[in-house]
Amino acid sequence: MTAPPLANGPLVNLPYVGTVLARFVVFIINSILGFIGWLIPPLNVITNPIASWLASDIIIALLAILLEITLVIAWATVVHLLTFIWIERKVVARMQDRRGPQLSSLRQDFWTGKRNPFIGFLQQIADALKLIQKENITPTAADKWMFHLAPGVLIASTVFILAVFPWSETFVVSDLPVGLLFVFAGFSLAPLAILMASWAQNNKYTLLGGMRAGAMMMSYEIPMVLSFLALVVMAGTLDPILFVRSQEGTNIMVPQRLQGMLGWIPNWYVLSIPGFLALLVFVLSMVAELERVPFDVPEAEEELVSGWLTEYGGMRFGMVYGFKWLRTLLASALVSLLFFGGWSGPVLPQEVWFLIKTYLVFLVFIWVSWSVPRIRIDQILHLGWHRLIPFTVYNIFLAGLWVLAAALQSTVAYGLLGVAVLVFVALFVVPTLRVRGRMPAGLSGEERAGR
Amino acid sequence: MVDLFAADTLGFIVVSAIEVITSVLVVTAKKLVWATFWLGSTLVTIAGLYILFGAQLIAVIQIIVYAGAVVPLMLFGIMLTRTKVMEEEGA
């Protein structure tokens, strides 16, 4: 692998920014302490040790980490969460031939005298203000403590992911060697919070919705992690930064003699056979994990009022609902990191590349969500357990052969890979052509009446 | 003599205190759902201990397998069975 001719660099060095901010905060506090000591000299006995303790390395480091976490949470929620909700509303409105939110905006002709392109952007803030004003109702029959605790667990498990999630090579709080697995751990904690919330509300609709959500999320985590394993076989690392670095440079399948002509093809995992198949499964499982529309049986409005969120009101609803978009943000960022080379790309800074890819992936999520109907819970579970899991297990085998073929570049290895792909088609693609006859059909109207 | 104010010692004391308290709450909780919730918190704090010991992979696996899969399974079991059993006299 050769480095790309125009390598891009990171824009934000988060540890540096955190340390500078921490030193600044300590400087201000110590100035105040010094002023107090100058005003009342006997107090120097107390203020001087406190000042020297605050200026010690470990306190600066701790404060820097706290500030970094705060910055990353603000970056993810204030900047991107609001933008994501706005984009979803506007795009869905366009798909449904509406205009979407358009009144809450900065004064349109104030800056440019033209129409404001960010029209309706302040709608989310207006909604949040409305939700904060609402009364915080706790149902009488609810388990009060768990009712209040469950949204906290959901939010904590989401913010947990931000601790290791990189936005560029240096825009990351903590660069864990097992960072990607940590992200999946964060996603895997959600069913716990949802089951707690659904039980605590003491309502049959919430319990049904929570059961559906828990069953769906737990069964789709398995194909999600298995499809990710195929990529781990190809990348050989769980560190998100090394993972992106392994996708830089020319595609490993481009033979030596064609380097000059096809050298521009990047080594993104979406451009390999196992990587592309993993992408299909991964996006499908992610949509299920996020409870977006084809998999939104947990909150099917027509059957279950609002699913496991039914009894939540006011800002508590707002937080849980808003954090779904934070999970969507992390999911689309994860897809672009795993499959589309993350921040690798020419010229532009890494953050810019990463955000371009993330937003494009998010547009695909919206596009899929709003153009397909909901599927039944039994079909969802059938798809997850009977189809996606064998598919992804075979895909791991394909990934191993892919790495072997790229390393050997020999005819035998390519032949083996070709045979494996043919077996794959025979095993998984051909039966799918008859999928209508194989999926468990629901009861027809007469059968249901006969029961 | 252990330095009580070293960062990892403080972290160990805090995390293990939470773990001991929640593990006592697992067996004293009146409602089974609460017991599983406390069990989940115990398992997550055990993952915290693994991180303090420098075993990050085991910590993450602990969260995925135990807190992410075993506890929801127990919750399923509890929620799908009759809740009256615990509240009946003499049961």
Residue-wise pLDDT tens digits, A176-193: 888 899 999 888 888 888
For B7, the 3-state DSSP assignment is: helix
Residue A432 confidence (pLDDT): 65
Share of chain B above pLDDT 90, in %: 22
Q: Identify the H or E element spanning B44.
A: helix B32-52
CB contact under 8 A, A188 and B34: no
Instruction: Please state the rounded mean pLDDT for residues A344-361.
Output: 87
- What residue has token string 């010690």? A56
pLDDT digits 0-9 by tens, A83-95? 888 888 888 888 8
Confidence of residue B83 (pLDDT cuts 50, 70, 90): low
Instruction: Give chain A's contact residues with B (Cβ, < 8 Å).
Output: 58, 62, 143, 146, 149, 176-178, 181-182, 184-185, 188-189, 191-192, 195-196, 199-200, 207, 210-211, 214-215, 218, 221, 225
CB contact under 8 A, B64 and A185: yes
Confidence of residue A5 (pLDDT cuts 50, 70, 90): very low
A304 pLDDT above the threshold of 80: no
Lowest mean pLDDT among A134-138, A157-161, A394-398: A134-138
From chain A, the residues in CB contact with B69 under 8 A are 188, 218, 221
Q: Residue A250: beta bridge partners? A: A266
Phi, psi of A348 (to 5 degrees): -65, 150
Share of chain A above pLDDT 90, in %: 7
Residue B3 confidence (pLDDT): 67
pLDDT digits 0-9 by tens, A187-230? 888 888 888 888 888 888 888 888 888 888 888 888 999 999 99
And the tokens for B36? Answer: 């599983």
Lowest mean pLDDT among A97-111, A196-210, A304-318, A347-361: A97-111
| Residue closest to A351 by CA, chosen among A12, A26, A78, A39 | A12
Share of chain A above pLDDT 70, in %: 89
Confidence of residue B91 (pLDDT cuts 50, 70, 90): very low
And the tokens for A377? Answer: 């819970």
Q: Are A269 and A234 in contact (CB under 8 A)?
A: yes
Residues 6+ apart with CB under 8 A from A228: A180, A184, A278, A282, A338
Residue A3 confidence (pLDDT): 47
pTM (two decimals): 0.84
For A192, the 3-state DSSP assignment is: helix
Q: Where are the beta strands (DSSP E) in A222-288?
A: none
pLDDT digits 0-9 by tens, A429-444? 776 666 555 555 555 5
Q: What is the DSSP letter of A167?
A: S
What average pLDDT does the structure give for chain A? 82
Confidence of residue A410 (pLDDT cuts 50, 70, 90): confident
pLDDT digits 0-9 by tens, A239-292? 998 888 888 877 777 777 777 777 777 888 888 888 888 998 999 899 888 888
Confidence of residue B88 (pLDDT cuts 50, 70, 90): low
pLDDT digits 0-9 by tens, A27-58? 898 888 888 888 888 877 777 888 888 888 88
ipTM value greater than 0.85? no
Instruction: Give chain B's contact residues with A (Cβ, < 8 Å).
Output: 7, 31, 33-34, 37, 40, 56-57, 60-61, 63-64, 67-69, 71-73, 75-76, 79-80
Lowest mean pLDDT among A37-46, A360-369, B42-51: A37-46
DSSP B8-41: HHHHHHHHHHHHHHHHHHHHH-SSHHHHHHHHHH
A110 pLDDT above the threshold of 80: no
